[in-house]
Structure 1
Amino acid sequence: MSSGPNWPPATGGDLDELAARLSSLAPSCGPVRLVGIDGHAGSGKSTLAGRLSALSGGAPVLHLDDVASHDELFDWLPRLTAQVLDPLSEGRESRYEVYDWTSRTASGTHPLPPAPLVLVEGVGAGRRALRPHLAAVLWLELPRRTAWERGQHRDGPELADFWQVWMAAEEAHFRADPTRPHAHWLVRQSPDRRVGFRVFPGPAGHPREKVAPDVP
């Protein structure tokens, strides 16, 4: 395992290069390169996933907010395995239940094709049980309190009570199952909005790339 992409540590690389590198990784879940985008709530994971999807030709994005629920903030792994990981590992389209946070019930199902690159974003996307299925783990490098403040501002006062429950649950999750030490890349939002994000080598080094076929 190499030390990481050859980017200057002071400035980092950009998302275009990261998107290209993700597409060069070895498949990790059947034919799929499954990439986890993790970080604290409010850190910008959905925005990053959208940017990477656009740069990767429309790679599908699975939002873990659609999989989690009030009763299963982090206990959604059995459903994710049965509804997403198992089908994708066999090269089949998956169809997972989508949770409605307003009605507190499942609102239907959503298809997820076995595309060459699939992005999974949400708190816990790089958890221990998922990492064997992931081609790479990205971590949004934003302090916990800063991310939570942004998230609470985004969601407004009507979700203040839920945030109290969430913050305790998230803190317990990362204390028992930290993602950052296993991240292949750290992503930081740049103060320059024209840049958006900067990408740096993560603690886990560079992930495994696909092996080029022999040339006769």
Structure 2
Amino acid sequence: MLAVAASNPVVAIDGRSGAGKSTLAARVARDWPLRTPVQLLALDSIYPGWGGLERGTEIARENVLVPHGRGVIGIWRRWDWEQEEEAEAHAVDPSLGLIVEGCGALTAASARLADVTVWVDGPAESRRRRAMERDGDGFRGHWEMWAAQEDAHIASHAPQDLAEIVVFTP
């Protein structure tokens, strides 16, 4: 675990679907080095539907990262994937550390608000297999559309170049 000076550090973990972002984020949260708890925000909880990667990135920045950086409570609404609408609101305590993980977590704007930036990637075949094992038929029909949004995010923001740490999973 890296040492950071902030008492409420922000860790941004980005990468393509199935790369291992959620697994890494869970490990970082489990091994959090500070005495205070850490908050974990999975962008899967924010994306407004299958076409919402870019919008989810904006929501996370505007409603969570910017307020956290200013020392005020951030509020985000969970996306209900079954009802295809926003659900309950959640608060993010600015006095606590925060891990934000998901494709879109790392842009130039979010990197300025993060203390640690991470890019996770792996071979396309391995990523797809892991994603299908994890999400099954619910994701199968959306893989190509989601991958196109990931491609657009990478082309626009080059998150792999913004990352201080790069993790490659087999």
Pair 1:113 & 2:93 matched = yes
Q: Which residue of the partner structure matches residue 139 of structure 2?
A: 159
The one-letter code matched in structure 1 to 2:25 is A
What is the TM-score normalised by the length of structure 1? 0.68
Pair 1:96 & 2:76 matched = yes
Question: 1:48: Cα distance to partner?
Answer: 1.0
Question: 1:135: Cα distance to partner?
Answer: 0.9
After superposition, residues 29-68 of structure 1 pair within 5 angstroms as 32-56=8-32, 58-68=37-47
RMSD over aligned Cα atoms = 2.1
Question: 1:116: Cα distance to partner?
Answer: 4.2
Runs of at least 5 residues in structure 1 that lack an aligned partner in the other structure:
1-17, 191-216
Q: Which residue of the partner structure matches residue 183 of structure 1?
A: 163
Q: Name the larger-Rg structure.
A: 1
The 2-side partners of 1:69 and 1:62 are apart by 15
Specify which structure has the higher proportion of helix: 2
Q: Which residue of the partner structure matches residue 169 of structure 1?
A: 149
What is the TM-score normalised by the length of structure 2? 0.85
Change beyond 3 A, Cα 1:124–1:144: farther
Give me the identity figure in percent.
27
The 1-side partners of 2:94 and 2:64 are apart by 10
Change beyond 3 A, Cα 1:158–1:124: closer
Residue by residue, what CA displacement relative to the aligned partner does 1:28-70 show, whole Å, maximum 9, x if unpaired? xxx6321111111111111111111111154111111112112
Q: Name which of 71, 87, 109 aligns with 1:129.
A: 109
Question: 1:98: Cα distance to partner?
Answer: 0.8
Instruction: After the TM superposition, list the runs of 4 or more consecutive aligned residues in structure 1 that deviate by more than 6 angstroms.
Output: none
Question: 1:111: Cα distance to partner?
Answer: 1.8
Residue by residue, what CA displacement relative to the aligned partner does 1:122-149 show, whole Å, maximum 9, x if unpaired? 0011122211111111122412342123
